[in-house]
Structures are given as structure tokens and as C-alpha cells.
Amino acid sequence: MARHDPRREYLLLMTTMVTCAAAIGAALGAILEGPALGLIAAVSLGGGTAIGTQLVRRRTLANLTKARGEAAARGYAEGIAHMTLVKIAMYEASVFPLSGDDAVSAEERRARRATAYQVAATEELPHSVREAAAAALAVLDAGSRDRAREAMQTLMTAVNKLRH
């Protein structure tokens, strides 16, 4: 999929706006007075829209660039938060395996623990998720199944709050 830059997005938006304005002008002019006024209205509305979009071009491009950067930062933080949730859930599955205590080796448990701690320590992780992840990891290390369920629920809530 081709990546859009703000100039291309603006060009597509401007072209659509000018085309729609010209079409509306042509339709209204043709309905009200006939083809001659339709042509004049189409040129007038299309030209006016083109001039107007050029006048606000710089500000619109700045806003598009800013919005793209903010969306990328939010998406990156949300992605790291989800990855943290998954890795801690995998560690939880190794601490409390459903198929019995001997289903997961100590080596695998240590590897999942190390991965969970590494991801939870990521610098770009939002503070609220980092706190919930630290609490969940501490409870998992203590080995309390009921408290671990509550801590994981708190972590899931913190991750889901990033969307809103």
C-alpha cells in the first residue's frame, strides 16, 4: 500500500472539493436558468473553491502533518502497551499453567519472565500502563492466583484506556 504524504492528501482533498463545487454550480445553474448559467456557475464555484483552498494550503498542510505525527505516537504507544499485555499474559500462563504445575519448565518460566520484564521496562510505554504492568509482575512473582487475576484486569483496563 502506498504511503500518503500530507501534500498528496491535500491535493486529493482539494481536487474533490473543487470538482464537487463545480458540479453543484453546474447543476444549480442549469436548473435555474439553463446551460449558459450552469457553465458560469460551475466555473465560478469551482474557481472560487480552488482559490480558497490555495489560500489555506500552508495551514492545512501543517495541521495534516501535526495530526499524522500525533496519530503515529499514539499508535506506537498503544502497540507497545498491547505487546506488554501479551507478554505479561504469557508469563502468567507459565506461572499458573492450566494443564498442571509441571506443564511448564522452570527455564521457560524464566524466559517468559525476562521477556515480560524487558517489555514492561520499555521507555515509550505510557506511565499508567507501566505502573499496572509493574504491579502485575510483582503479583505474578509472589504467586497469588486471585491477586494476579485482579492485577491483570487492572493492566487490561489501563491498556484499553489508551484508545479513548
> Is residue 26 a contact partner of residue 39, using CB atoms and an 8 Å limit?
yes
Q: 3-state DSSP call for residue 20?
A: helix
Give 67-110 pLDDT, tens digit per residue: 888 888 888 889 999 999 999 999 999 998 888 778 888 899 99
Asked whether residue 109 is assigned to any structural domain, the reply reads yes
- pLDDT mean across residues, the chain: 89
| Structural domain containing residue 12 | 6-55
Q: What mean pLDDT do residues 12-21 have?
A: 92
User: What pLDDT is stored for residue 48 in this prediction?
Assistant: 92
Query: Do residues 106 and 38 both lie within one domain?
Result: no
Asked whether residue 41 is assigned to any structural domain, the reply reads yes
| End-to-end Cα, the chain, rounded Å | 27
How far, in Å, CA of 106 to CA of 111, rounded?
Answer: 9
Number of domains in the chain: 2
Is residue 1 scored above 70 in pLDDT?
no
User: What pLDDT is stored for residue 73 in this prediction?
Assistant: 80
User: What pLDDT is stored for residue 77 in this prediction?
Assistant: 87
Asked whether residue 16 is assigned to any structural domain, the reply reads yes
How far, in Å, CA of 121 to CA of 139, rounded?
Answer: 16
Residues ≥6 apart with Cβ < 8 Å to 162:
74, 77, 78, 81, 126, 129
Query: Do residues 99 and 137 both lie within one domain?
Result: yes
Query: Do residues 93 and 128 both lie within one domain?
Result: yes
User: What pLDDT is stored for residue 2 in this prediction?
Assistant: 58
Q: Could you give the angle at the alpha carbon of 44 between the alpha carbons of 42 and 45, nearest 5°?
A: 70
